[in-house]
Chain A
Amino acid sequence: MAATTGAAIAPHEFLQAQSRWRVTEIAFWLAVLLPFFLFPNYLSLASQIAITALFALSLDLILGYAGIVSLGHAAFFGLGAYTAGIFSKFVWGEPLTGLLAAAVVAGALGLATSFIVARFRHLTLIMITLGLGFLLHEVANSAHFLTGGADGLQGVSIWPIFGYFRFDLFGYTAYSYSLIVLFVCFLIARRLINSPFGLSLRGIRENPNRMPALGANSRAHIRKIYTISATIAGIAGGLLAQTTETVSLGSIDFQRSADVLVMLVLGGAGYLYGGLVGAIIFMVARDQFSGINPQLWYFPIGVLLVAVVMFLPGGILGGLSRFTATLRSKWT
């Protein structure tokens, strides 16, 4: 950072350098292929992690880039899950169209609620998102005829992808499928944050009061990113329904909204990879600790969360980026 002060490089070259793929990024995306070779027995878990990471990515787009705190994001995840599940029961089991349906329905709810969300900030906004989350949970709970209520949605049956890749017991297809969808959505999100729109979002996060004084229509920006975020959350939910062939109320409850927020804060909001890293840590920790003691596994997560927000503002990735920045300034 310190080395690039002064007009040593042209403005557009600087912006280009900002959005260039870094070695660590490529390494990360190669590393996520490792479970295929190293942990073939954990591919189902890996698939769930990829799905959760996608969900966390969707939250990062609104929280990390536009400063919108949501405690009800599971509404879109759950809606996507139920849509994909119900779609397979009543339309057909083809997975890609099912995923598209999940995206469209969740995105439509996102668009509808964005008009409320864009008008508020701070505690009011948190309470509104929380309330919307409760509302959707209650709808899913009471629409027993459609969702199965507390018993969960049964009878979800997903066809092989492209009529060829069957969802196997080991999760081989599930992880491949989840990973590819995660990667595609990630590419879209990455392009988005490096666009003029992404820059305006960062402006809203950094100083919402200045934006109107620059002629920016912040509310329109917020409505747009909230809709996009809801769509991606719906895709994540749809993936969960399709890969597990069941949908429970757990996919739309408050716990899921809270968990994804914890993951994002652990990993670091506003880095695009924060939710991904947070999801890996959270899900692996849950898998490992709940094996030891299924009741107390939130204890270490709680300790970790408190420690991270106290000592590493910006989460694990925030800490890492500060660490590398100091290293670099010492070496140059």
Chain B
Amino acid sequence: MSTAVLSTRGLNKSFGSLVVANDIEIGLPRGVRYALIGPNGAGKTTLINLMTGMLKPDSGKIFLGDEDITHLEPQNRVKRGLVRTFQINTLFPHLNALESVTLSVCERRGYAPTWWRGLPQYRDAAEEAYEILNSLTLGNDCYRATRELAYGKQRLLEIALALATKPHVLLLDEPAAGVPKEESQGLFSAIAGLSQDITILFIEHDMDVVFRFASRIIVMVGGRILVEGTPDQIAADPRVREVYLGGAHHG
């Protein structure tokens, strides 16, 4: 357990009679690229919500390194390096990309409570924000209002906001949701290029992308973890085939 950056123990959550997380046990080692896959309704987003504190588990524990963060507020988990993005764009429509990411940088650096000094005096924050945007190919769009950005660029801005918090663990909820297949490869190349110090877990439905970018895969079905392993192990696992191919037969 001590080698895992993020781990859960016996995590349970139900909405009424619907069990959305059933005894979830995972441990993510440093620097690994995890894909979290499974059919719709398997509880993938719920698991991210539980780990980031947006939902409270009925029972079980969540650890960031050795620290028990089960009862920590979401923003305090972010301050400790556990950060997420959203499946549906959760951005600041009337702020431009630079302002949005500068906001995130200022929050991390502890500038945000300061109201008596002008923002332009924090040149370091603005420059860091610009560098993050530039690294995600958003440098040329950084002065455009978020709502005017193309959808694919908004997906990148989702990630830029998260990167500005300097995460140790990054949970990406369908980062390429709604992005055309041609563009999603570029988006995942950007994710693959992130620092190897960052542990990444991403939810994704496109199996080409999953097998190309993940170093390990977790398969969830009906609120449970079905199997966890390397892409080769997952590809050869008969239970996984059953879930996906079996589902296709019935559909």
Contact = CB atoms under 8 A, between A and B. Distances in A.
A214 B91 contact: no
B115 A198 contact: yes
A215 to B, nearest CB: 4
Interface in A213-271: 213-218, 220-221, 224, 228
A4 B102 contact: no
A15 B52 contact: no
Interface string B72-112: 01111011000110100011111100111011101110011
A22 B193 CA distance: 42
Interface string A41-84: 00000000000000000000000000000000000000000000
B15 interface: no
Contacts of A19: 118-120
A274 B39 CA distance: 51
Contacts of B123: 11-12
Contact of B90 (A15, A210, A224): A210
B141 A5 contact: yes
B28 to A, nearest CB: 19
Interface string B48-84: 0000100000000000000000000111101100011
Interface stretch (B2-10, B126-134, B208-216): B126-134
A210 B160 CA distance: 13
A15 B95 contact: no
A206 B94 contact: yes
B112 A197 contact: yes
A191 interface: yes
Contacts of B161: 210, 213-214
A150 interface: no
A124 interface: no
A215 B140 contact: no
A214 B103 CA distance: 9
B123 to A, nearest CB: 4
A228 B115 CA distance: 11
A40 to B, nearest CB: 37
Contact of A196 (B92, B94, B125): B125
A10 B129 CA distance: 12
Interface in B145-175: 161-162, 164-165
Main secondary structure on A side of the interface with B = helix
Interface centre among B84, B86, B106, B144, by most chain A C-beta atoms within 10 angstroms, is: B106
Interface centre among A6, A18, A196, A217, by most chain B C-beta atoms within 10 angstroms, is: A196
Interface string A1-28: 0001111001110111011000000000
A184 to B, nearest CB: 14
B36 interface: no
Contacts of B17: none
B247 interface: no
A200 interface: yes
Interface residues of B, number: 52
B106 A15 contact: no
B1 to A, nearest CB: 25
Given A7-B140, A206-B93, A215 B115 contact: no
A209 B90 contact: yes
A212 interface: yes
Contacts of A142: none
A215 B79 contact: yes
A217 B139 CA distance: 28
Contacts of B107: 200, 214-216
A199 interface: yes
Contact of A213 (B74, B120, B143): B74
Given A15-B126, A200-B107, A207-B91, A214 B113 contact: no
A216 B120 contact: no
B122 interface: yes
B250 interface: no
A212 B75 contact: yes
Nearest to A7: B139
Contacts of B52: 213
B114 interface: yes
A203 interface: yes
A211 B161 CA distance: 10
Given A206-B95, A215-B78, A220-B113, A199 B102 contact: yes
Contact of A7 (B92, B113, B126, B142): B142
Q: Which 4 A-B pairs have the closest CB atoms?
A: A215-B78, A206-B92, A197-B115, A11-B126
30 contacts: A5-B141, A7-B139, A11-B102, A14-B143, A15-B126, A19-B120, A191-B118, A192-B116, A196-B106, A196-B114, A197-B113, A198-B119, A199-B95, A199-B112, A200-B107, A202-B92, A206-B94, A207-B91, A209-B90, A210-B86, A210-B90, A210-B91, A212-B73, A213-B74, A213-B75, A213-B86, A213-B162, A215-B78, A215-B83, A216-B107
Interface of B: 52, 73-76, 78-79, 83-84, 86, 90-95, 98-100, 102-104, 106-108, 111-120, 122-123, 125-127, 129-130, 139-144, 161-162, 164-165
